[in-house]
Structure 1
Amino acid sequence: MNKRFSLFLLSVVMCIHAFAQEEKESPSKERKPISWEEISNWEALVTGSGQVSPDGKWFSYTLKEVEGDGKLVLEATDDTNNKKTYPIGDTSRPRMDFSENSRWLAFIEYPNFKDKKDKSKAKKLFNKLILLDLKEDKKVVFEKVQSFTFNNDASSILAINLNKDGGSGKGSDLLIYHLENGTKQNIGNVLEFSFNKSGKYLSYTVDAANQSGNGIYLFDVDNNRTHVLESDEASFKSIHWTEEGDGFAALKMTKDKKYKQELGAVIGVKNLTSPEVIVYNPKEDSVSFPDKYTISPNQRPSWSDDLSQLFYGIHDLELAKKPEEKKPEVNEDSLKALETEKIASLRADTTIKSMADLKKALSKIERANASPNTQPKNADKPSMTIWHWKDDQLQSRQEKLESSEKRKSLYAVYNIENKKHTTLQDSTLSDFMILPKQHFAIASDAKPYELQSNLTGKSYRDFYIIDIESGEKTLWKEKFYIPSGASTPKTSPDGTKILFAVDGHFFVYDLITKEETNLTADLETTFVNTDDDHNVIKPMNYPLGWDSESKYVLLKSEWDIWQVPVNKKKKALNLTVNGENTQTRYQGRFGIYPDEKGIDLSKKQYFRAYGEWTKKSGVISLEGSKSGLKPGPKVLIWEDVMIGQFTKAKAADTFIYSKETYNTPPAYFLTNASFENPKKITDDPKKLDEYTWSSGVKLVDYVSDKGVKLQGALFLPADYEEGKKYPTMVYYYEKLSYSLHNWTSPDFGRTGWNPNVYTSNGYAVFMPDITYTLDDPGMSAVWCVIPAVKAAIETGIIDEENIGIHGHSWGGYQTAFLVTQTDMFKAAAAGAALTNMISMYDLIYWNSGNGNMAIFESSQGRFTGGPWENWESYERNSPIYHVKDVNTPLLMLHNDKDGAVDFTQGLEYYNALRRLQKPVVMVQYKGENHGIAKLENRKDYSVRMMEFFDHHLKGKPAPEWLESGVKAIDLDDHLKERAF
């Protein structure tokens, strides 16, 4: 080798080494803050989409772009790394199902985002169904699909409801696809279809053109045989199988020109091998069925467990046309006298100068002599509403309920053996519930208390017990107070006992012995929800439920879960033992056993745990036994994360759970019954590593001005440097410190707020807790938020000169109020804010039609009484009455169709601030409700709000709309320029 070549080779090696060293030392790609424009393409895990196959061998989930399409990911749970991805189009609620034998997966592929936005293509778009054979690794595609279902336990058939293609009937083709051999059968004009539990039988109804062949049919899957159960010129609907799948009920509806409604009949089918069909037609029952009623199409019929009784609804019949009133006989003498009087009146009228004057005078005489019954039939009726002080419900609420009131039906039962109909429910009873085993029903009557309840929010009801066999109604509880849903009656699985709460204690009532037992009087703990600071008396923690044998109830104290026996001879047990000592809240049970009726205490049960002051979360288990759950929780998961979904494979000890942190998106993890070495089985969003996220979180402890120990979650900005202070956004809505470990996916929210986007762009974000003192909801925010922010400043992270606050709805109210009480915030944004508690009290919550007074006195408002009883408190806590003290630049969002906080609340505050020449800008999205629904509006406001805070907290130049506003004539061009 010559010297020149050796030198050349050495220089090449040195260059290669230098290049490799440079590659090693420099990052492959520099991360950047995420921009609003880039969020459109952000891909995220669809919450709750994870699904494990019954045998635990497969797991599927979906990912979706914000403005784009989704994909389904299917992965084997073994170590083969067998993973496949399938497009599913544009949907946030994907439909996918594994077959019960775990061999098949079917899912819908929806039209894509781009095509759905093209109006010229919209009517030509249809869903597809994709069927995957997981054993043979094959795929079958079906076009123009509405819905699908496997035949449950059998897993031999996929029934596919195809899109309707012409024809005047309501039904469409039902494709029966035999999974094993791929053969197909087509059944035409199917309106409804449903398999029984075993999957051996398919019931379906036909609705064809001219009602030809309409009926209800039973298809025997094994024998490939169809039974015609009932056929007529009628409509058949509302198929309902028993839980065991040994029978089903349906409705038959027939038109009758004499009535506005169809006339109904109930069909019951049992003994499926040789089907027995029972038809109860009220037209043939003149003895027990009430006149002027018929079977209602609005309530699905059902069998009793023993197939001896059919339950259904009945409702009023209205005549199609009212009979014409008989015309009164004309009295000729009276008619002549009237004509003479008319002529005399016209002769005496000196104002008649022309033919037009004569016509007016004649018309005036006709109107004066006309009776109300002689008005022309084609007269236009006024459009109006009559509001009356005696109305139990506001007219606005009545209008909201009008359609449901028209659909209301009353429960009834038909006894097969004695062929007798019994009406179980009268028009005074609501919330009618037939108890398990169908011996009793429970219902309530709120009518005596409805007006006061709507005025004050205090809820009372009379409860009745109904004997199914006799139909006898017995008053059980009169004027029963319901501070929260936890107190309402809850039935045992055997249908013989009722759990309820009164005055801070849980009771059980035995329907057989009629004895009432206080379950908690002797326990050295309380089951009252001590965290509930609304104006209600002793609201309870929600019970976890009955055991499957109706011998125990599981109740929650402030910290622990208790197993309380119905039989007082047995001892109540604190199952979780250490909740109070460790300040761990055992919050709820994971229902992982399908088709359970009550909690099976012989099986291991799983519960959610939450660290009150650490914000850790996890899963614990309690061992089961024949005598009940054994005290002593076994910790399975306990981390500084937020545990979300938790489920188990139906037929295997394969567990799937999701977890997330403030800067790592939700991911699914796979584990076995030991919960050791869990394996992450989902992909992160594809662009996660391109952007900067929060550098960390801190819990900030503080004490409110009222001496209450509280916490706030402080999220550090991306690329945080210790010792450096950062502009900070403070966001609140009652208690939010629990969100310390929550990931917020980059998106265009309905309120413009997204903490992850702000931390990515260099802001710290602080979320403090607020607890409330009655009669001071606004001052409570002052007493909690200001000390919270002061404590956060002490961390050295927050730039005290550049703090912004934001809240929406109730949080918007807190913002509008806080800026009247302090100047510590440099800028504020208030969305849909309540601003005048006095005028707001008397306004209407248009989304429900109810008045606001109940919300103010018993719900979020937390006032005792109305303004006239408590004027000082209402005034003291109304931002509008302190508006002269506002010095903080304010961005308001209030939409003109806000059905929760009336638009006038925003206008009132804006105009007052404008009158005082305070720095305020209000944005309004036309036609939008309490939150922003339209994507283009959500995008616009998200950008504007950050521009507002960037200007005030970061010193960036103010955009023109913020600096000078936009004239109405220029608004269209302004919006076009900003759209993205």
Structure 2
Amino acid sequence: MKGFICLMMLLLSGMGEAFSQKPPMKLDDCKMWRSVDQIQLSADGKWIVYNFRALYRQDLDTTYIYNVQSGEIILKTGLSNFSFMGNGKLLKYEKKKEGNDSGSGRPLVYTLNLATQVEKQWPENIFLVPIAGTDMAYYVQYKAAGKIDFTFVNLLTEEEDHITGINTFGQVEANRLIYSVSDSLKSTLYLWNRGKQVRIGEVPYYITGISVPEANGCGTLTCASDYDTRFDVASIYTFDLNKRLCTKLLSYGDITGLPDGTKISSSSRLINNNTQLLIELEPTVYPQMRREADQVNLELWVWDENISPRRSFKRSGFDVSSYDKYIYDIVAGKCFSLPTKGLSSLAFPQGQEVKGCIAFDATPWYKESDWTMSPNNDVYYIGMNGSKKKLASHGKYDLSWAPDGSQALLYDPAPKAWRLINMATGDIRDLTTGKLPYPIYEEDHDYAFDASSYGVADWNMDNQSVIVYDRYDLWSIDLKNRKTPVCLTQGIGRKELITFRKAEKPVSISGGKLYLEGFDEKSKTKGLYVLEGKRLRKMAVDPHYNLVVKASTANHKVVLWTKENYGERDFWVSDLTLRNPKRVTDTNPQVKYINWGSTQLYTWTNLEGKKNEGILFLPEDYQKGKSYPVIVLFYEKMTQGLNSYRIPEYSSATIDIPWFVSNGYVVFCPDISYRIGAPYESCYNAVISGVEQLIRDGIADKERIGINGHSWGGSQTAWLVTRTNLFKCASPCSAVTDQVADYLMLRGTGQPNMYFEEDAQGRLGKTLWEDRQLYLDNSPVMHADKIHTPLLIFHGEKDTSVRVYQGMALYFAMRRLGRPAWLLNYRDVGHQMGGDAECRDFMQRLIGFFDYYLKAAPMPEWMKAESN
């Protein structure tokens, strides 16, 4: 905290006369900026606790405790791992022991009574666990031979209730606990209820796990032979708290017919009202990978092998997909298998009722994943009776389970439709084709691979419907196909260009209100809406800020939320309408005293005659009609971040927007929509048309325009300067410059870059041999003779995504042609910067480069040949 105050004092001391002209940021001013690190709202809504994090210093160890009613703040230092307890009445935290500056050793645990401000230090090696909705907590103390002493504690009265010598315990409730005590012959199950011990029953095994009892008081116990074999389940028992009875359900020793070398894993689970065991296999002994002393370190590559040798998803060791799935029928006492052998992954519903599974099999398509973004799959239904049906083939599918597991939705990219699977029969039918007036897949998808779905919002099993998204709205679809789909948001999203999605917070009320987050494409802001039946209404919307709920009390009467745009991002508290809020945090007050900036949505007509959008980042002292030095920075689409707050920091990949804007630059970030086979031409159409419009509008000085991009943006930057001399200077960073070489290079994941050029961002859509001219035309180094723009090329020598050869190739091309170019090859850096020192150095050189060409500043010494 002291460091922050000192920095603020230094900043304020240089403000000039009565702050008449705000100074621009200096290189190291980013050290003043911070963000909220942790923030929590108490369950009763009376308190908020938070602290800050700074990027480049560790002196912010202050914890802020905010009183929601009064607005007062209590400051505490040296706290860590804080959390509310006692339904919000207490704050628990940890502190280092006095004199222990090394950080080693377990810290001490404290609680602070927020009403009385009385702090209590708990004994060493105590880890307090709150019991939800109560003033209670518990802690355990481990003894020899697996014994545990368990203690209930009332956090307000400090009354304690001890249970000693237990072995295993289950779910903890207020003064209520199910636990077991074991000896060498048996385990006895007990219920502890408000200080009274009730014996439930015993089993002739060591109890290793106790399930949460159902409403009828019944649950299950997993058991091992003894303490030493506690990680190997031997049997499962049931218990009944009302009848005070433990009954054997099954013994793993009775299960036969499993493959040799395998055993039942402890992750196996009971299904279908505890009548079946869904078995997970593991090896009896895990294989040891050992290289013999005289073994040759050879990696054999075979031209037609299914998986190329370096692929990260190649299986090694124990491969469960090489076995069928096994089910043990407890009533019949028989084990049966499902035909799943060879299928790469299985998806079972998580609930008790399991009628079958959905299997995804990528193995037939592994080979082509060298040149596709990700492996395609075949999809199968596997019934519990052993039936097997292929549902779809060769695609990238989305799956959504009904809460009860009786049905599932499969998004099939071939018909671009949601298909409903009956999990009892495997029957599948199209649920959306011809039923909805708008696509349920990404409308503006511009990749070579198939478009993904917009997703599923919710299932309503009461009225047998599911809610799916289109681009803007929510649609309720009758699962029995009796009713026409209903647009729950009444088409308002598409009409007003607002994308509605289910909000993460506040939690929607089942059968009642559905809270939605709405992103307005016009203002690029997020707001909160509520859907009640067929009525959609605004809760909180501001055309200048993103408003996002982060936490809420259960009754939604107290809500913690963020208000964000380019100028600020802070937390506020109010009721759910977000009206009459109280400001909780003031994270970066220094921004008021620095020439900061603002954002503006910029619109123009591109070279294809279409509307194009971009972001203009303008200095705070921007004057309309005055031309400015401009840096163009882009990466596909960026306008959705128009109102995102940006913390200034040393450059890790591109220019730091806040710093350059503060120092008098306009930064222009145009959106790009791509055509398959012409990605760079698409970039040219959007970027150049936008820059030319900036010149016509008098915003950009045509003699002072630079360009900068990283990775895919860097590749486009390098290509654009082969097509135009509009830019005074350019800095392509971590850029592919030779598409032919890149196509045949290996990434760190073991995947050839074929996928990138054909299927992913490269968007060429063809192989090198189908259209080699296409690859040559889109390779900047092949057209380096057309570059007359000075280049600052950045690359990391340890980059495994874009190999350093790519940066060197462009540098050597420029060098051979006698054109000005500098290569910053950071030897210990990957695809983007890592350490603070490297980032600061890179930023300093970016500043020097752009200031020299766009502001007529002196040439930095490092740019002069004789200085190297």
Q: Which residue, 140, 148, 154 being the options, matches 2:120?
A: 140
Q: Which residue, 278, 295, 301 being the options, matches 1:381?
A: 295
TM-aligned CA deviation for residue 254 of structure 1: 9.4
CA distance in 1, matches of 2:126, 2:88: 23
CA distance in 1, matches of 2:424, 2:497: 39
After alignment, is 547-556 or 124-133 more displaced? 124-133
Q: Deviations over 1:85-142 (max 9, x none)?
A: 33467xxxx8543347232333456899xx9xxxx97572655544333344333345
TM-aligned CA deviation for residue 307 of structure 1: 4.6
CA distance in 2, matches of 1:593, 1:616: 18
Q: Deviations over 1:232-261 (max 9, x none)?
A: 99xx9898758989646668599999xxx9
CA distance in 2, matches of 1:890, 1:959: 15
After alignment, is 31-40 or 453-462 more displaced? 453-462
Q: 1:645 to 1:321 in 2, by over 3 A?
A: closer
CA distance in 2, matches of 1:399, 1:570: 44
Q: Does 1:620 align with 2:529?
A: yes
TM-aligned CA deviation for residue 563 of structure 1: 1.9
Amino acid aligned to 1:816:
A
8 A contact 1:239–1:251 mirrored in 2: no
Aligned to 2:401: 491
CA distance in 2, matches of 1:216, 1:393: 53
Q: Does 1:663 align with 2:582?
A: no
Aligned to 1:81: 71
Q: Does 1:439 align with 2:358?
A: no
SS at match of 1:544: strand
Amino acid aligned to 1:437:
Q
8 A contact 2:25–2:594 mirrored in 1: yes
Amino acid aligned to 2:574:
T
Q: Does 1:501 align with 2:411?
A: yes
Q: 1:882 to 1:645 in 2, by over 3 A?
A: farther
SS at match of 2:74: strand
Q: Which has the larger radius of gyration?
A: 1
SS at match of 2:360: strand
Aligned to 1:65: 54
Q: Does 1:535 align with 2:448?
A: yes
Aligned to 1:636: 540
SS at match of 2:75: strand
Q: Deviations over 1:436-458 (max 9, x none)?
A: 33322222222122222443347
Q: 1:511 to 1:154 in 2, by over 3 A?
A: same
Q: Which residue, 122, 129, 133 being the options, matches 1:149?
A: 129
8 A contact 2:524–2:642 mirrored in 1: yes
Show the 5 A alignment for 1:403-418: 412-418=326-332
Q: Which residue, 693, 697, 703 being the options, matches 1:801?
A: 703
Aligned to 2:29: 38
Aligned to 1:364: none
Aligned to 2:88: 102
8 A contact 1:752–1:938 mirrored in 2: no
Q: Does 1:566 align with 2:535?
A: no
CA distance in 2, matches of 1:71, 1:936: 26
Normalising by structure 2, report the TM-score: 0.85
TM-aligned CA deviation for residue 517 of structure 1: 4.3
RMSD of aligned residue pairs (Cα, Å) = 4.3
Q: Does 1:693 align with 2:683?
A: no
Q: 1:582 to 1:494 in 2, by over 3 A?
A: same
Q: Deviations over 1:337-362 (max 9, x none)?
A: xxxxxxxxxxxxxxxxxxxxxxxxxx
Q: Does 1:926 align with 2:836?
A: no
Q: Does 1:786 align with 2:698?
A: no
Show the 5 A alignment for 1:774-923: 774-846=676-748, 848-923=749-824
Aligned to 2:497: 584
Q: Deviations over 1:643-667 (max 9, x none)?
A: 3444422244322221211112x11
SS at match of 2:688: helix
Q: Deviations over 1:198-219 (max 9, x none)?
A: 784377999xxxx999999988
Show the 5 A alignment for 1:286-685: 287-296=256-265, 300-304=267-271, 306-318=273-285, 379-398=293-312, 402=316, 412-423=326-337, 426-435=340-349, 436-440=351-355, 441-457=357-373, 459-468=375-384, 470=385, 472-482=386-396, 487-502=397-412, 503-512=415-424, 514=427, 516-549=429-462, 551-579=464-492, 582-592=495-505, 602-623=511-532, 629-664=533-568, 666-685=569-588
CA distance in 2, matches of 1:32, 1:70: 29
SS at match of 1:915: helix
8 A contact 1:659–1:668 mirrored in 2: yes
CA distance in 2, matches of 1:868, 1:101: 67
8 A contact 2:599–2:615 mirrored in 1: yes
Aligned residue pairs total 842
Aligned to 2:13: none
After alignment, is 380-389 or 763-772 more displaced? 380-389
SS at match of 2:359: strand
Amino acid aligned to 1:317:
T
CA distance in 2, matches of 1:303, 1:886: 67
Amino acid aligned to 1:619:
L
Q: Name the structure where strand makes up a greater proportion of residues.
A: 2
Amino acid aligned to 2:297:
S
TM-aligned CA deviation for residue 841 of structure 1: 1.6
CA distance in 2, matches of 1:894, 1:212: 65
Query: Identity percentage over the alignment?
Result: 23
CA distance in 1, matches of 2:836, 2:186: 44
TM-aligned CA deviation for residue 907 of structure 1: 2.4
CA distance in 1, matches of 2:829, 2:160: 48
Amino acid aligned to 2:352:
K
8 A contact 2:408–2:422 mirrored in 1: yes
Q: Does 1:182 align with 2:158?
A: yes
8 A contact 1:574–1:631 mirrored in 2: no
CA distance in 2, matches of 1:192, 1:868: 65
Q: Does 1:741 align with 2:643?
A: yes
Q: 1:42 to 1:184 in 2, by over 3 A?
A: farther
CA distance in 1, matches of 2:249, 2:433: 49
Normalising by structure 1, report the TM-score: 0.76
8 A contact 2:169–2:177 mirrored in 1: no
Q: 1:515 to 1:445 in 2, by over 3 A?
A: closer
Amino acid aligned to 1:615:
K
Structure 1 residue runs without a partner (length 5+):
1-24, 323-376, 624-628, 968-980
CA distance in 1, matches of 2:798, 2:570: 38
Q: Name the structure where helix makes up a greater proportion of residues.
A: 1
CA distance in 1, matches of 2:655, 2:151: 46
SS at match of 1:784: helix
Q: 1:401 to 1:662 in 2, by over 3 A?
A: farther
SS at match of 2:88: coil
CA distance in 1, matches of 2:41, 2:783: 56
SS at match of 1:437: coil
SS at match of 1:493: coil
Structure 2 residue runs without a partner (length 5+):
1-15
SS at match of 1:931: coil
CA distance in 2, matches of 1:874, 1:676: 56
SS at match of 1:456: coil
Amino acid aligned to 1:86:
K
TM-aligned CA deviation for residue 769 of structure 1: 0.2
TM-aligned CA deviation for residue 532 of structure 1: 1.0
8 A contact 1:160–1:176 mirrored in 2: no
Amino acid aligned to 2:388:
T
